[in-house]
Amino acid sequence: GQNIDQPTEMTATEGAIVQINCTYQTSGFNGLFWYQQHAGEAPTFLSYNVLDGLEEKGRFSSFLSRSKGYSYLLLKELQMKDSASYLCAVPSSGGYNKLIFGAGTRLAVHP
């Protein structure tokens, strides 16, 4: 089967760095997605990793280790607007790009 685990909640201070972890178990691997979801809004795409290593995109970076079934999202220079839920997702082994989501990590950024 497939399973994704991520922490339920995290808090951080404006201007700081925060790392949101995600561990996954999947029978076949076709990449890992991170989405951001502000309260009451649709999830929006942040990143996609299919190879091991760190991918940087502005203040946000995403890391993948396929051998460990592990990924993290790194947010630098935190801003109040980064307060949101962060969803880790992997494509289902059944194909058709069905995404299996973790429960999400709610991040609260404080002044």
Partner 1 sequence: DVKVTQSSRYLVKRTGEKVFLECVQDMDHENMFWYRQDPGLGLRLIYFSYDVKMKEKGDIPEGYSVSREKKERFSLILESASTNQTSMYLCASSLQGGGNTEAFFGQGTRLTVV
Q: Does 17 bind partner 1 (CB under 8 A)?
A: no
Exposure b/e, 24-39, CB count within 10 A at least 16 = b? bebeeeeebbbbbeee
Q: Does 32 bind partner 1 (CB under 8 A)?
A: no
Q: Phi, psi at residue 86, to the nearest 5°?
A: -120, 120
Q: Does 43 bind partner 1 (CB under 8 A)?
A: yes
Q: Does 98 bind partner 1 (CB under 8 A)?
A: yes
Least Å from the CB of residue 45 to partner 1: 4
Closest CA to 70 of 82, 78, 62, 60: 62
CB 29 within 8 A of CB 22: no
List 56, 103, 108, 110, residue binding partner 1 (CB under 8 A)? 103
Smaller CB distance to partner 1: residue 17 or 103? 103
Q: How far apart are CA 36 and CA 111, in angstroms?
A: 20
Least Å from the CB of residue 34 to partner 1: 10
Binding site for partner 1 (CB under 8 A): 8, 30-31, 33, 40-45, 48, 50, 87, 89, 92, 96-104
